Amino acid sequence: NLTPKNMNFRRLQKSFRDAWRGVEYVYKYEQNFKIQLFFGILIIILMMALQLRKSEMVVILLLILLVLILELLNSALEKFLDILKPRMHLQAALVKDILAAMVLSASIGSILIGSLIFFPYITTIFLN
C-alpha cells in the first residue's frame, strides 16, 4: 500500500543517489558507454533538427535507451564475473563475450532501424 504516509523518502532519495553513482561509475570507467552516450545525444540533436514525427522520436529514444541500459547491464555483470573469474576463467570469459554480443546486436539493430527512420529526411535535404 503506497501512500504518502507509508513512503520512506530518505530511502527513495538514497536509491536515486545509488543509481546515479552507478551511472557515474560506468561513464567514468567504460569507454563504450561514453561512446554510446555521445552518439545518443548526437542522434537526439539530429532528431530535433530534422523534426521527426513523435512516433519516430519515441522509437529512436527507446533504441537509445535500450543500448544504454544493455551497456549498464553488461558492465554490472562483467564486474560480478570478475569476482568469480579465478574459479571459472573460461566460462566467465565466454559469458563476457556473449554480453558484449548482446550490446553489439542491439547497437547494430538500432543503427539499422534508425537509418530507416532518418533516410527519408536526409534524402529530402539533399534532393531539394
Q: Is the dihedral of CA 90, 94, 100, 104 positive or negative?
A: positive
- Give the tens place of pLDDT for each residue, 23-82: 999 999 999 999 999 999 999 999 999 999 999 999 999 999 999 999 999 999 999 998
Catalytic, out of 24, 30, 71, 78: 71
Distance of alpha carbon 116 from alpha carbon 113, whole angstroms: 5
30 has catalytic annotation: no
Q: What is the pTM of this model?
A: 0.87
Would you place residue 86 in the very low, low, confident or very high pLDDT band (cuts 50, 70, 90)?
A: low
Reference 78, options 70, 128, 53; nearest CA is: 70
| Residue 33, C-alpha cell as written in the block | 558507454
pLDDT tens readout for residues 101-115:
999 999 999 999 999
